[in-house]
């Protein structure tokens, strides 16, 4: 199993691939933090149900957890980036024909899939760390320049940073599992990314606009709540349970298809 994970890591560590992945995570961290600080310091707020991001209030920003609030604000964007790269790593095995070689070398397909999930989760940990570092590097000078009080940010620093990192990491890993599952079903990264982005930006936003329909259970909302460590509408425990349910469903669906389907191309 260790060999299968190392094999998958070797394939994942293409410099251009990693640079794009980490670069996008850094870009979104920088972008969302800059916009967030501008909005919050100006007293502005996003309309309810706005897709992709959710900004804190000024009081939340000035609290100890305000330092890392950009991670939760951009969690959907990080999620889409992660979904895309998990989908790419999965679908490329099919489109390149590499899946034939892999299954012939390791016919226990569950091992291949498990190794892929573990390897992608390891790279995602690095990507989450990159986003966290950029978040801190951008939000501190931006908040200072915007006049947001940052004196509380040093309180319980390690706990704040670690929990924000962990919450985001869990959330984006579930996004990744969804990407892997769709890519396994569709055998296409393009389809998986389109479905993921389309769902978040279109379907989920439309459902949220329907006032009579509860939206707390939706994937983006749930994972946003996990990344935020819970919200006023959904507790962290409930969000985490539901998120793990989504992940388990995705993994089981991907596993059944991956293991049982003929490798014909």
Binding region for other proteins (CB under 8 A)? 3-4, 6-8, 10-11, 14, 16-17, 92, 96-108, 262-264
For other proteins, the closer of residues 100 and 208 by Cβ is 100
Residue with Cβ nearer other proteins (31 or 263): 263
Buried b (16+ CB within 10 A) or exposed e, 184-197: bbbbbbeebbebbe
Q: How far is the CB of 172 from other proteins (least distance, A)?
A: 23
Residue 72: which residues within 8 A CB-CB, separation 6 or more?
54, 56, 164, 167, 168, 224, 227, 228, 229
Rounded least distance, CB 108 to other proteins, Å: 5
Residue 133 or 263: the one with the smaller Cβ distance to other proteins is 263
Q: Name the token pair of 200.
A: 């978040």
* 64 dihedral zone (left: phi>0; alpha: psi -120 to 50; beta): alpha
Query: Within 13 Å of residue 88, how many CA atoms lie on the same side as its CB?
Result: 13
CA–CA–CA angle 71, 72, 76 (5° rounding)? 100
Q: What is the smallest separation between the CB atom of 3 and other proteins, expressed in angstroms?
A: 5
Q: Residue 98 or residue 157: which is nearer to other proteins going by CB?
A: 98
- 101 or 213: whose CB is closer to other proteins? 101
Neighbours of 66 (CB within 10 A): 24
Q: How far is the CB of 261 from other proteins (least distance, A)?
A: 9
Collapsed DSSP state (helix, strand, coil) of residue 40: helix
Q: Minimum CB separation from other proteins for residue 206, in Å?
A: 38
């Amino acid at each position: 199993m260790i060999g299968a994970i190392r094999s998958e890591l070797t394939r994942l560590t293409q410099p251009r691939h990693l640079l794009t992945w980490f670069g996008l995570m850094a870009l979104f961290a920088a972008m969302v933090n800059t916009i967030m600080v501008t909005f919050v310091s100006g007293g502005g707020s996003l309309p309810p149900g706005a897709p992709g991001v959710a900004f804190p209030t000024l009081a939340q920003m000035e609290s100890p957890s305000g330092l890392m609030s950009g991670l939760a604000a951009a969690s959907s964007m990080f999620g889409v980036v992660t979904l895309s790269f998990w989908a790419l790593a999965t679908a490329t095995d099919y489109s390149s024909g590499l899946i034939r070689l892999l299954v012939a070398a390791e016919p226990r397909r569950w091992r291949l899939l498990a190794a892929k999930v573990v390897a992608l989760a390891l790279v995602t940990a690095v990507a989450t760390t990159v986003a966290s570092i950029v978040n801190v590097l951008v939000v501190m000078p931006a908040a200072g320049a915007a006049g947001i009080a940052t004196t509380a940010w040093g309180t319980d620093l390690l706990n704040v940073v670690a929990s924000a990192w962990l919450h985001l990491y869990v959330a984006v890993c579930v996004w990744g599992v969804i990407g892997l599952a769709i890519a396994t079903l569709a055998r296409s990264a393009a389809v998986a990314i389109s479905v993921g982005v389309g769902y978040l930006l279109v379907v989920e936003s439309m459902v949220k606009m329907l006032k009579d329909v509860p939206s707390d259970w939706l994937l983006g909302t749930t994972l946003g709540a996990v990344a935020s460590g819970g919200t006023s509408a959904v507790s962290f425990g409930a969000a985490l349970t539901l998120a793990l349910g989504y992940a388990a469903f995705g993994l089981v669906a991907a596993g059944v298809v991956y293991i049982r389907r003929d490798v014909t191309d």
